[in-house]
A = this chain, B = another copy of it.
Amino acid sequence: MAYPLLDRTVKFARYDPPAMRSAYLDGGRVVVGDVPDPVPAFGQVLVRVLACGICGSDLHFVKYGRQMAAIGEEAPGQTSPLDFDRPIFMGHEFAGEVLEAGPDTAGPKPGTVVTSVPAMLTLSGPAQLAYSNDFPGGYSDRMLLSAPLLLEVPNGLDSELAALTEPMAVGIHAVNRSRIEPGESAVVLGCGPVGLACIAALRRRGVEVVVASDLSPARRRLAGVMGATDVVNPAEEPVVDAWQRVDGQRTLVVFEAVGVPGMLHAAMRDAPQGSRILVVGVCMERDAIQPFIGISKELNIQFALGYDPVEFAGSLRSIAEGEVDVAALVTGRVGVDGTPAAFEALANPDAHCKILVEPSVPDGDDL
């Protein structure tokens, strides 16, 4: 199912189809242009995007997308569904307002605020809604969603907070995958959105000792807001030392949420005997470890990615019920045309945590 972009150089002299603004990846850069207005088919619902968070994965994808696809293809029998010679839509942390349903499609009534796991049901199976040549992502005026996957946002919840359902679900999933119990303790390396989501999920799970570390003062402050019981600057005190100081007794689970080469080795080196390491930071480079350290301490390394639909729904419920206060995570808002500048701004961890693309934001973006 192809969703052809309009050639932005073409003037619509004789024929002017409905178009919308969208930011997408083209030739390795995030650009903004007019694309055809999507039209809902059977099983689909057209929504007006209210807010869509920019994810660290999107920044990764801009830099490493081709490489990620190549690694995926290293496994036997795998081919990437993405064509890097065509524009690629991103934007998978969204909330939107239902405009209309496709033919013969039952969906929430127009005006309903919804979110969804970023997937589309197609006749050839589930497809990714973001990292897609075919479906506009949330950095667009409008997008298509699969009606059976829609979750209604509970009445009154700010769409900005609803858009944080997805990143917070990543933390819930990582914590589930870690098999951590309330009687154990946690260290969280890196307090970007993923690390912060882990902190919130750990506290919600009842883990009493959660020691977080980040080089950025702004992120350390947010770690406290999310419920970290202790927060350190790793340049001043190694985080496992801090954990030894405040606990040092319980079984430790280390959450690696930085995702740069060397972090896994450092986690293995510093973790106590019998620790578990949950890797949720996406390191795109080859990385060196010292297996003998793993052997001699009988470490366990669990990699985690994404979430399942139950975890996603739980994340929305948790936000709507005020169990986790995510408002502080939002540090900026841009319109669709401001998306490229927002990608740039996110390179500075002290300036921003989560920037939302909100098509209704006027010129003069809040960055």
Contact = CB atoms under 8 A, between A and B. Distances in A.
Nearest to A71: B292
- The number of chain A residues touching the other chain, given as a range, is 35 or more
Interface in A291-346: 291-305
B290 A301 contact: no
A287 B264 CA distance: 12
Contacts of A71: 290, 292-293, 296
A298 B287 contact: no
A4 interface: no
Contacts of A284: 291-292
B288 A296 contact: no
Interface stretch (A72-80, A155-163, A217-225): A72-80
A294 B298 contact: no
A361 interface: no
Interface of A: 68, 71-72, 74-76, 177, 238, 240-241, 259, 264, 269-270, 279-280, 282-284, 286-305
Q: Shortest 4 CB-CB distances between A and B: which pairs? A: A294-B303, A283-B291, A301-B301, A295-B303
Given A279-B294, A301-B301, 7 more contacts: A71-B293, A75-B293, A279-B295, A284-B292, A286-B289, A287-B290, A298-B305
